[in-house]
């Protein structure tokens, strides 16, 4: 099953027939394994990896670092769940850092929208002590896929 996970984590476009051939198993067995992985919560959905730098008017991405005082009963979980509930929040991570506890990836239409989100939503959450916002200027690699390095990208970076 680990080989199946390795394959689909790198490319989820394969059909079950193609996966079966690559794994030297029956298609029925591959379908069973995939369903088992989904049922156990190991595989959670599927998505396309988009190179947002190549799409015009896609907005901005920010990495928000937060210093948080954990709650006595729930630690960081309750605060993380609250942050996760916002539609513009892409990811939330608990970090092992001396400066920040939670790292949140946020998408917005523009810098002002993210600034408003941080000042009116994130920084007002009880137990959030401080935030630091970092705006993403360029993505070189995401979800294991390199976005930078082909000739077109190199020419674009020289123009910038």
Which of 4-8, 35-39, 56-60, 72-76 has the weakest average pLDDT?
A: 56-60
Q: How confident is the prediction for the chain on average, in pLDDT?
A: 85
Tokens 């989904």 belong to residue: 38
What is the pLDDT, as a whole number, of residue 66? 96
* HSE (side-chain half, CA atoms, 13 Å) at 130: 4
Number of structural domains (the chain) is 2
pLDDT in tens, 66-112: 999 999 999 999 999 999 999 999 999 999 877 999 999 999 999 99
SS3 142: strand
Which domain range does residue 30 map to? 2-39
pLDDT in tens, 10-23: 777 888 888 888 88
Is residue 140 domain-resident? no
pLDDT in tens, 107-129: 999 999 999 999 999 999 999 99
21 and 58 housed in the same domain: no
Is residue 116 domain-resident? yes
The pTM assigned to this predicted structure is: 0.63
∠ at Cα 83 (79, 88), nearest 5°? 175
81 and 123 housed in the same domain: yes
What is the pLDDT, as a whole number, of residue 74? 92
Using CA atoms, how far apart are residues 52 and 65, in angstroms rounded to an integer? 22
32 and 101 housed in the same domain: no
Using CA atoms, how far apart are residues 125 and 129, in angstroms rounded to an integer? 9
∠ at Cα 27 (25, 33), nearest 5°? 80
Residues 6 or more apart in contact with residue 34 via CB below 8 angstroms: 4, 8, 16, 19, 43
10 and 70 housed in the same domain: no
Is residue 148 domain-resident? no
């Amino acid at each position: 099953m680990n080989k199946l996970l390795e394959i689909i984590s790198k490319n989820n476009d394969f059909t079950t027939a193609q996966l079966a051939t690559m794994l030297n198993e029956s298609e029925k067995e591959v379908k069973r394994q995939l369903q088992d992985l989904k049922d156990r919560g190991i595989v959670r959905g599927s998505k396309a990896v988009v190179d947002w730098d190549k799409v015009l008017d896609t907005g901005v991405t920010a990495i928000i670092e937060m210093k948080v005082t954990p709650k006595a009963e729930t630690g960081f979980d309750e605060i993380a769940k609250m942050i996760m509930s916002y539609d513009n929040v892409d990811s939330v991570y608990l970090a092992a850092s001396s400066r920040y506890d939670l790292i949140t990836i946020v998408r917005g239409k523009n810098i002002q929208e993210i600034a408003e989100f941080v000042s009116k939503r994130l920084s007002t959450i009880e137990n959030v002590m401080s935030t630091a916002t970092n705006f993403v200027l360029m993505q070189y690699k995401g979800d294991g896929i390199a976005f930078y390095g082909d000739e077109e990208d190199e020419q674009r970076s020289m123009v910038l």
